């Protein structure tokens, strides 16, 4: 089993953290998506990371499918609850956290264009998704220790990866501690876990 990933991808980090928390051994291959020889398209027609290669003929994508697969590879310490209502809650948190990342990626790609080609209205719309998403997640977390129920779950992992990604891309733009203090508290707690420490993204 081998994961194709990039160091800054929040979706790929979610997968790496799930594997770490579940003690699942997985080979890691860091890729550069812009390389002409990048192997990702061979395994995912969409050309996106993460991709989990199971064999020469079988691969899994996207991150939500991979984490569900990994969580069921071993029965112990499920990160996605088995019971339907808790499971749906966890997946909704994940969906919103991933959606915030999608909007951050869209802004970043727009910012990489030459300034005259940048679409300010498009960027404002994406930034609005980011702030509305963060507000809902912050309000829903309130003073709870974990996102869903009394246990650490995939919801916390997805939110933690998203927060690190927002901090990485929006240095000086969003002040998490001031504007989203509940999320900041959760993030600080998550950063103590080896799975988070060992997968911290670095800018590129």
Summarize as ranges the residues that interact with ligand GSH (CB under 6 A).
Answer: 9, 11, 33, 47-50, 62-64, 98, 105
CB of 76 to ligand GSH, least distance (A): 25
Cα distance between residue 199 and residue 28, in whole Å: 12
Nearer to ligand GSH, 65 or 173 (CB): 65
Give the CA count within 13 Å in the CB-facing half-sphere of 133: 23
Nearer to ligand GSH, 13 or 89 (CB): 13
Q: How far is CA 188 from CA 180, 181, 193, in A?
A: 12, 11, 10
Nearer to ligand GSH, 122 or 177 (CB): 122
Nearer to ligand GSH, 88 or 188 (CB): 88
CB of 70 to ligand GSH, least distance (A): 13
CB of 177 to ligand GSH, least distance (A): 25
List beta partners, residue 2.
27, 53
Nearer to ligand GSH, 21 or 62 (CB): 62
Cα distance between residue 147 and residue 142, in whole Å: 9
Q: Are 97 and 67 in contact (CB under 8 A)?
A: no
CB of 78 to ligand GSH, least distance (A): 20
Q: Strand order in 27-30's β-sheet?
A: 27-30, 2-5, 51-53, 59-60
Cα distance between residue 20 and residue 188, in whole Å: 19
CB of 41 to ligand GSH, least distance (A): 9
């Amino acid at each position: 089993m081998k994961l194709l990933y990039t160091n800054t991808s929040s979706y790929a980090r979610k997968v790496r953290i799930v594997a770490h928390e579940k003690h699942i051994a997985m080979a890691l291959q860091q890729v550069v998506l812009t390389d002409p020889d990048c192997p990702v398209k061979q395994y995912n027609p969409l050309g996106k990371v993460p991709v989990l290669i199971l064999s020469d003929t079988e691969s899994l994508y996207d991150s939500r499918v991979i984490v569900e697969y990994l969580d069921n590879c071993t029965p112990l310490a499920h990160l996605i609850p088995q019971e339907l209502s808790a499971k749906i809650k966890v997946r909704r948190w994940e969906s919103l956290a991933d959606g915030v990342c999608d909007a951050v990626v869209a802004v970043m790609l727009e910012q990489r264009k030459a300034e005259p080609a940048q679409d300010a209205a498009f960027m404002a719309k994406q930034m609005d998704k980011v702030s509305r998403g963060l507000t809902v997640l912050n309000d829903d977390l309130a003073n709870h220790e974990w996102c869903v129920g009394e246990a650490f779950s995939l919801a916390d992992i997805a939110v933690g990866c998203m927060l690190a990604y927002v901090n990485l891309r929006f240095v000086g733009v969003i002040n998490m501690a001031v504007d989203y203090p509940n999320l900041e508290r959760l993030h600080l707690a998550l950063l103590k876990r080896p799975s988070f420490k060992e997968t911290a993204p670095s800018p590129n």
